[in-house]
Amino acid sequence: MEYRELGTTGLQVSRMCFGALTIGPLQRNLSVAEGGRLIRQALEAGINFIDTAELYRTYPYIKEALKGWSRPEQVVIATKSYAYTAEGMVQSLEKARREMDLDVIPIFMLHEQESEYTIKGHWPALEVLFEAKAKGIVRTIGISTHHVAGVLGACKYPEIEVVSPLINLTGIGIQGGTRDEMLAAIQQAYSMGKGIYAMKPLGGGHLISRRRDAFSFLLELPTVHSIAVGMKSTEELERNISFFEGTPLPDEDFVQPERKLHFDEWCIACGQCVQACPNKALHIESERVIVDTDKCVFCGYCGAACPEFAVKVI
């Protein structure tokens, strides 16, 4: 596995980052033992970078994977929080440290920022991270974003050292601009020394049949240091690692089940999932939630927002 320095952060990360969303309760819902084992296999194969978030509820999987691991200081874990107040961020930070059993969080990010203005609006939370960084509890501060203006917003603040933007071959899921506009924003952030790790390389599953081209597109971008790939089985992990290490992907014999959103019959049409969707892929019609499948990237954020636990990615 090849490694790169993540911008000017001083962190060395593998080109493939293990995206932990997929194994957790919002998606495949593997047991902690199974999910922990899969992350451990990734670590054994040389992946030293794990992407998670408070929202994903995957901290226990990471704790499980790291139990007894001989080189924990070399594992770079990036997590994210929606906290915008100081109190909220103190709680998020402590939860991450406690539930992953980590003294130091290598990368702590504001989750899903839309622009320089939302970053500014999170300043009380960021100040908690600045203080945590000064104390050595957090090493690096960043943001994740689906928005072109989110990446450009990060460029306004030298304190934001890492950006995780949504970028993929066809641009599916990018908000507020085209794929090329996102690439230009990433170029700007990269040239300022920010660490860049891409999310949704396969557009949440839409590009699975074109994954060779989709991965190649990102691997050939000099502005992307690492690529977060969500995986839920050993087979997927091994094949993706082989491809990242230079072995061609045999598309034909690797059939990936199609993904979809499932709404249970007890949905009360409250609309909270509609509000939570960053891609505006949901609306309500005749008291039923309707999905625009061209816009959905199967992030599972709608499921996290549902008070009735009535929606999940399957």
Contacting residues toward ligand SF4, per CB under 6 A = 261, 263, 267-273, 276-277, 279, 281-282, 289, 291, 296-302, 305-306, 308, 310-311, 313
Token digits of residue 128: 């908690």
Instruction: Name the β-bridge partners of 105.
Output: 138
**Cβ-based nearer residue to ligand SF4, 45 or 207:** 207
Instruction: Name the β-bridge partners of 240.
Output: none
Shortest CB 277 distance to ligand SF4, Å: 3
Shortest CB 21 distance to ligand SF4, Å: 10
Shortest CB 305 distance to ligand SF4, Å: 6
Shortest CB 9 distance to ligand SF4, Å: 28
What distance in Å separates the CA atoms of residue 246 and residue 178, rounded to the nearest whole number?
A: 29
**Cβ-based nearer residue to ligand SF4, 61 or 298:** 298
Q: How far apart are the first and last CA of the chain?
A: 30
User: Could you tell me the CA-to-CA distances from 50 to 14, 151, 170, 202, 290 in Å, in that order?
Assistant: 10, 21, 25, 17, 33
Shortest CB 162 distance to ligand SF4, Å: 22
- Three-state secondary-structure class, residue 81: strand
What distance in Å separates the CA atoms of residue 105 and residue 112, rounded to the nearest whole number?
A: 19
